Structure 1
Amino acid sequence: MNLTQSDIEQIEAHGLSVDDVQTQFMNFITGFPFVQLSEAATIDNGILKLNEKESEEAIQYFQNNKDKHSILKFVPSSGAATRMFKDLFEFSALYMGLQYTLKEFPEAKKTIDNLNKFAFFDELKQRFEAHSVSIDEYLERGDYTTIINYILTEIGLNYGKLPKALILFHKYPEDKERKCRHAIEEHFVEAANYCKEENKDVNIHFTISIEHKEEFERVLKEIQPYYEKLFDVKYNISFSFQKQITDTIALTQDNALAYDKDGKIIFRPSGHGALIENLNDIKGDIIFIKNIDNVAHDRFKNSTYKYKNLIAGILLQTQEKVFSSLKALEKGKLNSQELVDIIELTNKLGIGLSKEETSGNKSENILKQVFNKLNRPIRVCAMVK
């Protein structure tokens, strides 16, 4: 790939090197190799299945020990709502205004037909009324294009440009102050129920797009005092932005570098995997990770709380065993039972040494490998059948 001096300056200003971009280019051209999987994870081979007694013990263990730890909720929140409304975008771009063409947009029509069930409906009505018109009139005459424009563009809700975090997700008509909640509010509610520290602090970190920072801060100023009073907690909210150095170039169909209308290189943000950099920058003994739109209505939250407490309990139980094993390995001169326990633990965690790693190796080298495998962050996640 041939780069101009202007290209190189733009690349370096973005925090990338020419070598980084050349590597990205070659990955696009040659493709990425498939991951070589050794076998499927199954119960007792990578997946832990708990009975009711074990589940209750893990939950209780977290409850009994969480005050010894700093807790934080990490919420990737930069995702735009574009995919949520992709059917409306398609309708808006292609609809010709003829009744018989509606059957070509069944999902968009379904959305309009059920509009009053959405949490944002009342606010949408208010946007129409602000222009001295009624949404009911447009619904009656089937003016779907105008209604969708009010949903997606700045004339109305502007949901086509907002991040999912700031979209009204759920209705709570019984709540006098917050009859509808944004996605971000549901994380405030969740965090107060399983991330509260002994001093009543609740720590939440959101990764956001820099262009949405002001809007996030506006919504936070509106909602934070309400939920602090409701749950008798103090929220410590922090933000970070996905790092530019994780962005990738884009190519045209001819495998040439893509530029925007101003002649600037198009850089695209990577997926959520790139947020490992942001995660590495924050501090917390226990970090709950949950995407911004993975939230449930209050009537379904009890099961969420149960399993969050459960996986945190498994984390702390596992951590205790790992720390004990690491101390024994550092001490040296393991007795036979300690060695058996450590080997069983590594096997249970799916990080046991292979025959290739042990064959012909000295015992001290084997123990060093075991130590390195155990001396790492611990991640626990749920498995859905």
Structure 2
Amino acid sequence: MIDLSQSDLEQLQKKGISKKKVATQIETFKVGIPFVKLVKAAVVSDGILRFSEQEQNEIIQYFEDSRGGLELLKFVPASGAASRMFKAMFNFLDVYDASEESLASYIEKTGDTAVKRFAEQMEKFPFYQLIMDRIAGKASNKDEEVYLFVKEMLMEDGLNYGFYPKGLLPFHKNSSGIATPFEEHLKEAALYAKTDGNANLHFTISEQHDEMFKNEDAAVSPKISKSTDTEFSISYSNQKPSTDTIAVDMENKPFKNSDGTILFRPGGHGALIENLNDQDADVIFIKNIDNVVIDENLKTVADSKKMLAGVLRKVQLKAFEYAKALDDGIISSEQAEEIKTFLEKELNVRFHKNFNNLEIENRHSLLKDKISRPIRVCGMVKNEGEPGGGPFWISDSDGNVSLQIIESAQVDMSDNQQAAILKNATHFNPVDLICGIRNYKGEKYNLLDFVDKNQGFITGKTKEGKELKALELPGLWNGAMAFWNTIFVEVPLATFNPVKTVNDLLKPTHQG
């Protein structure tokens, strides 16, 4: 058992973390987290559905016809800080001196292509005029102007964008002014997450940005409400302190801060399964805060979302019928076979080879277990060389095969066969999920029951010059949903427009 002092125990109690959870996490550091075993990449006709234009229109219409009686929710992970977006620009401020060298010689010396592109296309940023007005008359030449522009953009005594959450940065310029991702998500919700004139949205945000989001809400919601004829019900939550994970030193002992307290770190986006578990609706749309589109592409995105939701509802209603029949205990062997076929063909469930050797009662029990799960329909985009996880068939230590979204960090790249499977992926994960989290009785599943705790990540970090190991919880759409029933559907590339660096805002998909 781990040795914790009285003050350590008080710290745990304050965060809502049990001693048992800490012990389990330390044991995880000791034994490590095994790599996943890829069986093969999921491809169209083997794990990924592709629909013709006519089929898509029919599914969209199916959703439109049924959405009136549904509770819909748009769930947006929005705690991402913008600091990483501006990493290259912060570095530029640290090392460049306009009085010492020209910008051209700096770029040639450092090979800093990010700054080169930024400087060459500055006027295309939605905040260009705002900053130019603020630094007017201060620069003696063009190079100094670029430096002052970046400084005004990032520094605390300027616009302080480096501190902002991504969701509140100016992303797009349109006919009515400048739009933030927060505003763009409201526009989207009005198109596909609205019932009877009402749209529900939930944003998971960092505590330090609570006030900023509420101010943006007050400023833009009435405007979008009027232009879309939609009443918005917007709620927020923060990542729970109880989902923070313990950091350890290289001997797997709790890492202590200089003040003697244990170092805990945020558990990553996998911690948000708790926030999602606190929500309840018939259909929940999940999409990251920075993946938004300009007005011209809104219809494409909305149609794609409606199609995915239609796929979910069709399969969900059939699953509900079968789940009820199993609960009622009145199924024949033919019906049992029908349910098994449905699970395999429609929900990508794979049964162990000894399934047919089981007693009838055990077979029915297993069918009930497999069908009584939350369902996720995930959009998948054709691989265009973008980083990110992808859709794969994997096998666990007991030989159970399932369909999962896997990150490259979960794969043993020293194993040539595994590396080859990863490389052969035809699609990647844009984080585009439609979730059904209720059973046939309308009761919400406890989503924490469907997490694969063996799909976390251990990473190496440093603090105050000392090495440490950190633990990331199983990702929200990875291990946190590992035991859900999963359907992958091909969606258009136009639905994927993340902003990882400030220069991504220069892409045509973000230029109105």
TM-score w.r.t. length of structure 1:
0.89
The answer to whether the 8 A contact 2:73-2:285 is kept is yes
The residue that corresponds to 2:16 in the other structure is 15
Instruction: Confirm or deny that 1:311 pairs with 2:316.
Output: no
Residues 76-87 of structure 1 mapped to structure 2, 5 A cutoff: 76-87=77-88
Q: Does 1:353 align with 2:351?
A: yes
SS of equivalent to 2:293? coil
Deviation at 1:324, TM superposition (A): 1.5
Kindly, what percent of the aligned residue pairs are identical?
A: 40
Q: CA deviation at 1:167?
A: 0.3
Deviation readout 1:192-213 (Å, 9 max, x if unpaired): 0111102x11100000111110
Partner amino acid, structure 1, of 2:119: I
CA contact (8 A) 1:76 1:292 kept: yes
Matched AA of 1:91 = F
Confirm or deny: 8 A CA contact 2:171 2:180 kept in the other structure. Answer: yes
Whichever structure has more strand as a proportion of its residues is: 2
- Asked if 2 retains the 8 angstrom alpha-carbon contact of 1:59 and 1:309, the reply is yes
Paired residues for 1:168-207 under 5 Å: 168-172=170-174, 174-175=175-176, 179-198=177-196, 200-207=197-204
> Per-residue CA shift, 1:197-241, capped at 9, x if unaligned?
02x111000001111101111111111110111111110000011
* 2:363 is equivalent to residue 366 of structure 1: yes
CA contact (8 A) 2:199 2:230 kept: yes
Going by fraction, where is helix more abundant, 1 or 2? 1
Match for residue 113 of structure 1?
120
Q: Secondary structure at the match of 2:76?
A: strand
Contact 2:132 2:149 in 1 (8 A): no
- Residue 285 of structure 2 is matched in structure 1 by 288
Structure-2 residue corresponding to 1:236: 233
Whole-angstrom CA distance in 2 between matches of 1:10 and 1:303: 49
Taking a change above 3 Å as real, the CA distance of residues 330 and 249 of structure 1, as seen in their structure-2 partners, is closer
Deviation at 1:153, TM superposition (A): 1.7
C-alpha separation in 2, matches of 1:142 and 1:225: 40
> Secondary structure at the residue paired with 2:204?
strand
210-219 or 257-266, which moves further after superposition?
Answer: 257-266
**Pairing 1:1-385 to 2, within 5 Å after superposition:** 3-97=4-98, 98-99=101-102, 100-103=105-108, 104=110, 105-128=112-135, 133-134=136-137, 137=139, 140-172=142-174, 174-175=175-176, 179-198=177-196, 200-251=197-248, 257-258=254-255, 263-335=260-332, 338-348=335-345, 349-356=347-354, 358-385=355-382
Q: What is the SS of the residue equivalent to 1:380?
A: strand
| Aligned residues of 2:26 and 2:253 also touching (Cα < 8 A) | no
SS at match of 1:366: helix
Shift of 1:108: 2.0
Partner secondary structure for residue 85 of structure 1: helix
CA distance in 1 between counterparts of 2:131 and 2:12 reads: 42
Partners of 2:29 and 2:233 in 1: CA distance:
41
Deviation at 1:20, TM superposition (A): 2.6
Quote how far apart the aligned CAs of 1:384 are: 1.4
Corresponding residue SS for 1:293: coil
Q: Is the 8 A contact 1:258 1:266 kept in 2?
A: yes
Q: In 2, Cα distance between the equivalents of 1:264 and 1:246?
A: 17
Counterparts of 1:337 and 1:65 in 2: how far apart (Å)?
30
- How far apart in 2 are the matches of 1:301 and 1:2? 55
* Distance change in 2, residues 1:337/1:29 (3 Å): closer
Corresponding letter in the other structure for 1:167: L
Unaligned 5+ segments in structure 2 are 383-512
Larger gyration radius, structure 1 or structure 2: 1
C-alpha distance in 1, partners of 2:12/2:327? 46
Structure 2 CA distance, aligned partners of 1:6 and 1:138? 57
Alpha-carbon distance in structure 2 between the residues aligned to 1:121 and 1:261: 43
State how far apart, in whole Å, the 1-side matches of 2:144 and 2:251 are.
Answer: 43
Give me the TM-score of the superposition, normalised by structure 2.
Answer: 0.68
Judge which range, 365-374 or 68-77, deviates more: 365-374
CA change 1:95–1:297 in 2 (3 A) is same
Contact 2:336/2:364 (CA < 8 Å) preserved in 1? no
1:147 counterpart letter in structure 2:
F
Q: Matches of 2:17 and 2:256 in 1, distance apart?
A: 17
Paired with 2:152 and 2:367, the residues of 1 have a C-alpha distance of 60
Q: Residue by residue, what CA displacement relative to the aligned partner does 1:319-374 show, whole Å, maximum 9, x if unpaired?
A: 11101211222333434653343122111111142223x15311121011111111
Residue type of the alignment partner of 1:124:
I
Offset, 1:304? 0.6
Mapped to 2, the partners of 1:139 and 1:211 lie a distance apart of: 38
